[in-house]
Chain A
Amino acid sequence: MTINPILKKDLKTKLRGWRSTILICCYVTLLTGILFLYFASSNMFNPRSYQSFNPRMAIDAYNILITFQFALLFIAVPAITAVSISSERERQTLDLMLVTATPARRIILGKIMVSIAHTMLLLVASLPVIGIVFFFGGIGFADIAKLLLFYLLTAFFVASCGVFFSTIFKRNITAIITTYIFLGLVTFGPFVGFLIYAMLHQRMPGGFNPVYRDFVTGLFPSPVFGYISFYFGSYGGYGGYIFGISDVQRQIEMLLAAETGIWKYMHPWIVNGLFSIISSILLIFFSSLALNPVKRKY
Chain B
Amino acid sequence: MKNVVVRTENLTKRYKNTLAVDKLCMEIEEGEIYGFVGANGAGKTTTMRIIAGLLAPTSGSVFVDGIDVSKKPLQVKKHIGYMPDFFGVYDDLKVSEYLNFYAGMQGIEKNRCDTLVDSLLELVRLTHKRDAYVDTLSRGMKQRLCLARSLIHDPKFLILDEPASGLDPRARVEMKEILMELATMGKTILISSHILHELSQICTSIGIIDSGRLVACGSVREVSDRMSHSGKLKIKVSSKEEEAVKVLLEIPEIKGVSSAAGMIDVDVIGQDDTYADILRTLVEKGIPVISFQPQESSLESVFMQLTEGGNGNDN
Contacts and interface: CB of A to CB of B under 8 A. Distances in A.
B88 A95 contact: yes
B105 A93 contact: no
B70 A294 contact: yes
A205 to B, nearest CB: 59
Given A98-B54, A100-B106, A102-B105, A92 B86 contact: yes
Interface stretch (A5-13, A28-36, A145-153): A5-13
A285 to B, nearest CB: 17
Q: Is the interface of B mostly helix, strand, loop or mixed?
A: loop
A99 B90 contact: no
B73 A294 contact: yes
Nearest to B75: A101
B149 interface: yes
A92 B88 contact: yes
B56 A99 contact: no
Interface in A258-298: 292-297
Given A92-B84, A103-B74, A296 B56 contact: yes
Contact of A9 (B78, B82, B87, B101): B101
Given A13-B93, A101-B105, A101-B107, A96 B84 contact: yes
A98 B76 CA distance: 12
Interface of B: 49, 52-56, 69-70, 73-74, 77-78, 80, 82, 84, 86-90, 92-93, 97, 101-102, 104-107, 110, 149, 153
23 contacts: A2-B110, A9-B101, A16-B92, A91-B88, A93-B88, A93-B89, A95-B49, A95-B84, A95-B88, A97-B105, A99-B80, A100-B77, A100-B105, A101-B77, A101-B78, A101-B107, A102-B105, A102-B107, A292-B73, A293-B56, A294-B70, A296-B56, A297-B56
Given A2-B104, A101-B74, A101-B107, 14 more contacts: A9-B97, A16-B92, A92-B87, A92-B88, A93-B88, A96-B82, A96-B88, A96-B149, A101-B78, A101-B106, A293-B73, A294-B53, A294-B56, A294-B70
